[in-house]
Structure 1
Amino acid sequence: MHANGAPAGGARGVFIMDSMGPGGAPQGLEAFRRGWETQIGDDVFQLPAFSPDTIGDFRVKGNVTKVDGAAIADLHAASATRTADVPGGDQDLVAMYVVRRGAWTLGNPPGYGDQTVSAGQFLVRHLGRLTAFETTADLTAKFLVLPSDELKPLLGKRAVTGSADSAEMRLLTAMTDMIHTTIGELGPAGVSAAQRTLIELTKAVAKGRFDDVEPRLAPALAQAAKDLADRRLADPGLSPAMLARELNVSVRTLHRAFAAVDEQVSTYIRHRRLHEARLALMASAGRSSITELAAHWQFADSSHFTRAFKKQFGQTPTEFARSTAASPAPPDRHPPAHPPSRP
């Protein structure tokens, strides 16, 4: 985490944290704590006291975004960390831990035992007090804190755990990534709506299902579907039905989510496949077979592929290949159809 807080790319609301200074020397926990309290404040999440034996080698970095009364932190810890045995301090919030690498062990009230969130898992629970925790070295995790008013009655005293790759968690992760990239441009109403959406998605995670009629979830659902489609573009089974099945929603809900962002599922898939085919033509300087490209990107035949390509780019694949070979063009800079995934 960053000893000296700085807005990420000048974007309001995003705090870059990196406890390592120039040359790789640790800058110290207290410098980080001052940065957190200045940039994020302790009204959302109060930092606990850390164990003295982990303070000397405190190597953690990441981004934190404050979203009204909530916060999202993407963390990467090179060193192990551990809080004091009894951190102390009252609070009333819901916390979610999503671990991609390493492990995060959370203390529980006496008699309940500790809980470890391993790689590929999440845990969400209500926190009434600061509790002890420790993390392994080489940790990659997402940490969310949310207001408890609506979530506490749903969670009660239980901790909800599960796969970080469940449909509901993929929706939530897509939304947090979108918030990181757009928070600097959002007005007060947009920030408030972003917080509301985080709460609704966390409800969906806790319930183990997606709220089929919640319109505020549409952008996150559409983004999660795009992320999945981009990984399956060459899959002959890719379709709105397959995406809906993988995301645990109805096809109707998926179409409604895309309509809310002025897109269509099938159109998105076709355009992404055409752009990949165009990149392949450029890379091969026209040596790629039109028939092979059509088959690879799941067009019915070369004629169908040629018509779709010309409609999209104003040239047939053959014409485009000839023009590329005659006058080499710079690499295609077509922007990704979605924000790049968090490493």
Structure 2
Amino acid sequence: MASLGKFFSIGLLTRTQQFLSTPEEGIKKMTKKQLAKELALGQCLIVIGTQALLQESVDFYKLGLLVVDEQHRFGVEQRQLLLNKKLFTEDNKNLIAHFLAMTATPIPRSLALSLYGDLNLSVIKTMPSGRLPVATKIVEDEDRSKMYKFIRQLLDKGEQAFIICPLVDPSDKLAVKAVTDEFHRLATGEFKNYKVGLLHGRLSGAKKQAVMADFVAGNYQVLVATAVIELGIDVPGATVMVIESADRFGLAQLHQYRGRVGRRGQQAYCFLLKSPGSGTLAERRLRAVVKYNSGQELARLDLMWRGPGELYGYEQTGFVELQLANIFDQDLIMVAHKAALAVLSDRVWRHKAMAHLAWKSGVLDVLPQ
């Protein structure tokens, strides 16, 4: 933020923090109202933020580019709230901002929109320089002791490990590991000679930051955690990711967790453990994570197995009920797409077609512009 602020006015807007950096004054703290005013007047040219940008009180003077990172974490309605802020008028014409969505693991709906022409898709197929593919393995319950022995050998070399559990408190109904129980079991058992930390969403913000800072600094060798570590965590020494009840997580989540280790070029490992009685469908999904290191390929399988959801609605998964077409018949879909573009290139037919789609779906504001 400071480096960009040497050339442009740039703001930061989150639920708890608001700053503005300008070439003239450097970085200064602001209230939400003050920063919102700067945005509305066009005095702040770049703003970085969280879902706080979705507030009605936040508006833009001339929004030219909207970038959404970790796009799979945003729902359709959340993205639409941002897109609703995108129109501005110049020379009596409504202009639409450019929209760039980024993710390592596209959700089925987004992948379907890219496949069928509503979104242009760019894929970075190569791994970052120096990164090695994470070795991923499904571990059966009877092989736990072998896995823990292997992890201890890595810890003795100065490496670090994540242990991920899906819940904070025990649940007999789901029969999954609870992070609190797992922490006490490991800290007094398999890793009793190592420093073990605990991180979950019910801790205060300050406590979570303190635990993560200690883990990054190497004060903890093992961190038992919930989904709070899925995004935005960079621990140079972490080379092991153990995921309890991995069948309870989505493909995108598992791929994101796997991306938290081996970020400095070390060989890293991801171990997937199943819930009791997880079934063949869960086994199939976990085997896909083992086989593919590509988020794009996992997203394609997710689309095939869960469906694209509503392309003109809010559901992001599920199968489309079409009377004739098959959503996975890509060749036929592309022929139809070209024919539709020809129709929409005619102003009269475009108006009629869009009006018909709006009437059929009842959701005018989520139609492609």
TM-score by length of structure 2 reads 0.25
Of the two structures, which has the highest relative contact order with CA contacts closer than 8 Å and spacing of 6 or more? Answer: 2
